[in-house]
Amino acid sequence: MEIKGIVAVVTGGASGLGRATAEKLVATGARVVIADLAPNGEEVAREIGGGTRFVAADVTNTEQMDAVFDVAQELGTLRAVVHCAGRGGPIRVVDREGNPGSLEVYETVVRINLIGSFNVLRLGAARMAKNEPVEGERGVVIMTASVAAFEGQIGQIPYASAKAGIVGMTIVAARDLASHQIRVCTIAPGTFDTPILERVKEDVREALAAAVPHPRRLGRPSEFALLAEQIIANPMLNGETIRIDGAIRMPPR
Ligand SMILES: NC(=O)c1ccc[n+]([C@@H]2O[C@H](COP(=O)([O-])OP(=O)(O)OC[C@H]3O[C@@H](n4cnc5c(N)ncnc54)[C@H](O)[C@@H]3O)[C@@H](O)[C@H]2O)c1
């Protein structure tokens, strides 16, 4: 699909991988609406420029996400959704004191990452299903999993469960939406240098970078954005989760 002239919604677009994707899409000629909870969303949209809009929205909230897609459709034809919003929340199955892990934390992390992904997918796809096809396509949805979907580490039980759910959803969604001529792919990043890692100490960051076989460094958000751009552009990419991780395979901890 040609990116020039399309409208794209980027969730989590106020930071990290989402922000880099919004920047890339604007540079390629798309109009972008950022959906995020971040208080600096307006500022980020201004910095990105190109008429980028920010709508404060929680991806798990249907009304708020509907408002995001309304704004997108005011700008033109919504053809792409890149869903990057998400976050972790560490617990163990049984904690060090022998108590069962928090069901509340588990539910919250699954709600934000997995339920939020389905909410964005279903609402975005319903809008796109009404588009006129261009070269046999109505639109594309990209979701964000993690290598934790495949090799979750100790403490990542809710996050890994949610991200694995997104991977599982991908082929089903692509099959469901094939008759609507909408594609669905998922990107599973390894370790990327985003504000998520700002809270991590320098020696831990260095260890994370050193664990990547090649290139031996953290991923750059622009490299995630490059893959998102390619997925939108390439009509044969569908129903697949693509790892972008420098060949990292996470150890248990
Ligand atoms: N950075 C990494 O190394 C890495 C690795 C694997 C997967 N991921 C995934 O990539 C995605 C983006 O991560 P990032 O590193 O850019 O993180 P980030 O913290 O820089 O950005 C995430 C953005 O999502 C927003 N957000 C969180 N919950 C939200 C909600 N309920 N509704 C709307 N917005 C919400 C935050 O406000 C933030 O702006 C996440 O899904 C994350 O799990 C990141």
What are the sequence ranges of the domains in the chain? Answer: 7-244
Q: What is the pLDDT of residues 57-69, one digit of tens each?
A: 999 999 999 999 9
Burial class of residue 104, CB neighbours in 10 A (0-12, 13-18, 19+): exposed
The model's pLDDT over 72-101, given as tens digits with 9 standing for 90+, comes to: 999 999 999 999 999 999 999 999 999 999
Q: Catalytic one among 54, 106, 159, 224?
A: 159
Q: Under CATH, domain 7-244 is a member of which superfamily?
A: NAD(P)-binding Rossmann-like Domain (3.40.50.720)
| The pLDDT of residue 122 | 99
Q: Which residues of the chain have pLDDT under 70?
A: none
Q: What pLDDT is attached to residue 199?
A: 77
Residue nearest to atom 23 of ligand 1 (CA): 12
pLDDT at residue 60, as a whole number: 98
Residues with CB under 6 A from ligand 1: 11-12, 14-18, 36-38, 58-60, 84-87, 112, 116, 144, 146, 189, 191-192, 194-196
Instruction: Identify whether 106 is a catalytic site residue.
Output: no
- DSSP label of 199: G
Please indicate, yes or no, whether the overall pTM of this predicted structure exceeds 0.95: yes
pLDDT of residue 153: 96
Kindly give the number of the ligand 1 atom that is closest to the alpha carbon of 20.
16
Q: With DSSP H G I counted as helix, E B as strand and the rest as coil, what are the percentages for the chain, rounded to 5?
A: 45, 20, 35
Q: Which atom of ligand 1 is nearest to the CA of 195?
A: 20
SS (H, E, C) 46-93: HHHCCCCEEEECCCCCHHHHHHHHHHHHHHCCEEEEEECCCCCCCECC
Q: Which of 9, 10, 17 to mutate to test the pocket of ligand 1 (most atoms within 8 A of CB)?
A: 17
| pLDDT number for residue 31 | 98
